[in-house]
Amino acid sequence: MSISTDHGIVPILCFHHISDLEYYTAISHARFVALLLRLKEKFTLIDASDLGRITLRTFTKPPLLLTFDDAYEDNVDPLLEAADSFDCKGIIFPVANYIGKHNDWNVKAHYRARHASRSQLRELLDAGYQIGSHTLDHINLVRLEHVPMRTQIKDSRKRLEDSLQTRIEAISYPFGWFNWEVVEMSSEHYRLGFSTLSRGGVSCWGKNPYAIGRLSVGLTACIDQIIAGVENWSVTELDEMVGYSE
């Protein structure tokens, strides 16, 4: 499959927490709503399935994809409201072994937060969002040997499909890290693989559909910065906006 991931065509944003949490990957609910208002003025919000036929479609406004890593419980109400009020769509990446559980995988976090439950993920599916995989345990795939890497990549898809009864066609690499082995293995089980353009990840490799870059939205980014970054799709202009991705 060949898709266009040219930064001028399909900018992609990556969110984690949508809450008032004082953490670098969080954006408040109020700022999230304000950002969506601005984005809807300038862009057409698409879902991941649109990426495969992006060059075949005509948009009145440029396309934009929203993605949500970790599938925290604090995402649920804001995203349901956004789907209803703004026809918001996008793709959500749960950590398969932590659905409905606390983020104990994140040993560096100074807080505990719960991930969305199975029933909450079903609500988001019914509202029009897609679900992808963020592996089984949110482990840096690059640091794993071949067999445990395959387990994290392959088994997370099966677990999510069995639990949620939906097709899982995309994977988001924990912390944004990937290499050729990760890309090759992901291509056996998914149609798309997402990284980030943050300092903690690896930039998009040309038009490889398993190395799709994203801009991570965090605590310090103001809305004007985010809009400018999406419009320019430039890493250098977003140094203060992006950070290490979870």
Burial of 40 (0-12, 13-18, 19+ CB in 10 A): middle
Beta-strand pair 215-216/192-194: unpaired
pLDDT at position 238 is 33
Structure tokens at 186: 């992901």
Give the other-Cβ count within 10 Å of 186's Cβ: 26
pLDDT at 6: 40
Domains of the chain: 12-236 (3.20.20.370)
Structure confidence at residue 62 (pLDDT) = 84
Distance of CA 62 to the CA centre of its chain: 19
d(CA 218, CA 237): 15
pLDDT at 230: 85
pTM, rounded to two decimals: 0.89
Which segments of 23-173 are extended strands (E)?
26-27, 44-46, 63-70, 91-94, 130-131, 170-172
How confident is the prediction along the chain (246 residues), in pLDDT tens digits per residue? 223 334 346 889 999 999 999 999 999 999 999 999 999 999 989 888 777 666 556 778 888 899 999 999 999 999 999 999 999 999 999 999 999 999 999 998 899 999 999 999 999 999 999 999 999 999 999 999 999 999 999 999 999 999 999 999 999 999 999 999 999 999 999 999 999 864 433 445 556 888 888 888 989 888 998 998 888 764 333 333 333 356
pLDDT score for 54: 62
Per-residue confidence (pLDDT) for residue 20, from 0 to 100: 94
Query: Do the Cβ atoms of 123 and 80 come closer than 8 Å?
Result: yes
Closest CA to 228 of 219, 212, 239: 239
Closest by Cα among 58, 194, 184 to 133: 194
pLDDT for position 220: 86
User: Hey, which residues does 69 pair with through a beta bridge?
Assistant: 93
Confidence at residue 52, expressed as pLDDT on a 0 to 100 scale: 62
